[in-house]
């Protein structure tokens, strides 16, 4: 497979791409995987490219939007 773009892949291929990148897409048993799998659901379903999803994630991470706020010794 040369391209990972939605137009060049099937749903099954996109599932495999995500699974190989982050782990078992069907299991989601380690607590963290479930959030990552949900994050890439739009790609698997053919709604948004990986690049768009990653750019949106980075934008929220850098800006701190929707992140936990530090209060005292911990996060809330």
Residues in the chain: 76
Q: What is the pLDDT of residue 57?
A: 81
pLDDT tens, position by position, 24-37: 555 545 555 667 77
10 Å Cβ neighbour count for 50?
A: 17
| Confidence category of residue 6, pLDDT binned at 50, 70, 90 | very high
- What does residue 71 show for φ and ψ, rounded to 5 degrees? -135, 115
pLDDT tens, position by position, 16-74: 998 888 865 555 455 556 677 788 999 999 999 999 998 888 776 655 555 555 555 55
Q: How far is CA 12 from CA 4, 8, 26, 39, 49, in A?
A: 12, 12, 12, 17, 15
């Amino acid at each position: 497979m040369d391209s990972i773009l939605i137009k060049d892949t099937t749903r099954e291929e996109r599932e495999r791409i995500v699974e190989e990148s982050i782990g078992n897409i069907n299991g989601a048993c380690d607590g963290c995987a479930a959030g990552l799998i949900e994050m890439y659901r739009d790609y698997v379903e053919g709604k948004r490219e990986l690049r768009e999803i990653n750019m949106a994630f980075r934008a929220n991470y850098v800006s701190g939007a929707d992140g936990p706020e530090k209060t005292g010794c911990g996060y809330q």
